[in-house]
């Protein structure tokens, strides 16, 4: 049986690089589930940089919404499956449904699925609630959804890391 590893941290904290190292330590083949969509030139460049860093050791699967289904389909075919990132997945779900309830239901479904996975699953997520309270409603809803999702995923994970300034700290 695989294990579940959650890697969290702020923007540009080194969490994706740490997650890649943790996944690579599991052996090959490696699967990378990308939840981002290239909606503009800056995001397309960011996606390209991540792909270049990973190289051809990774099979990339792009899926912005149906994370549990894609994980189930890829399970057992990879030593590790890296999901980058949960925060963008939550964004995609919230924008699709315009309601945090279905997004949180998807997170709960994922937490039920993780213990039975054969492949190790490494989840990357952002800590978004450490700053000031956002002034607009959608940002507050997203902050709360993200915080609740991170708590659920951390509880389901076998290992949890936080990265700050490129330095990892194991929490669990």
Whichever domain contains 43, its CATH number is 3.40.50.300
CA distance 81 to 28: 10
Domain that holds residue 142: 4-170
Q: What are the residue numbers of the active site?
A: 50
CB atoms within 10 A of CB 92: 18
Could you report the per-residue pLDDT of 14-52, keeping only the tens digit for each? 999 999 999 999 999 999 999 988 788 888 888 788 788
- Looking at the predicted structure, is the pLDDT value of residue 63 above 90? yes
pLDDT at 47: 79
The total number of structural domains that make up the chain: 1
pLDDT band at 164 (very low <50, low <70, confident <90, very high): very high
Are 33 and 63 a contacting pair, CB within 8 Å? Answer: yes
pLDDT at 11: 86
Are 66 and 109 a contacting pair, CB within 8 Å? Answer: no
Give me the mean pLDDT over the 110-137 stretch: 93
CA distance 80 to 92: 24
pLDDT at 147: 96
Half-sphere exposure for 68 (CA within 13 Å, toward CB): 16
- pTM value is 0.93
């Amino acid at each position: 049986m695989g294990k579940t590893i959650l890697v969290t941290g702020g923007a540009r904290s080194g969490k994706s690089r740490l997650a890649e190292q943790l996944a690579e330590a599991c052996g090959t083949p490696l699967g990378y589930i990308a939840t981002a969509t290239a909606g503009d030139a800056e995001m397309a460049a960011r996606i390209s940089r991540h792909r270049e860093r990973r190289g051809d050791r990774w099979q990339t699967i792009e899926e912005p919404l149906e994370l549990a289904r894609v994980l189930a389909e890829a399970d057992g075919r990879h030593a590790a499956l890296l999901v980058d990132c949960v925060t963008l997945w939550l964004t995609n779900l919230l924008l699709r449904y315009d309601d945090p309830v279905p997004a949180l239901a998807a997170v709960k479904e994922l937490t039920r699925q993780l213990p039975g996975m054969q492949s190790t699953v490494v989840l990357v997520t952002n800590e978004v609630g450490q700053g000031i309270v956002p002034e607009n409603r959608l940002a507050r809803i997203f902050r709360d959804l993200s915080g609740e999702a991170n708590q659920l995923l951390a509880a389901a994970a076998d290992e949890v890391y936080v990265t700050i300034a490129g330095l990892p700290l194991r929490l669990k």
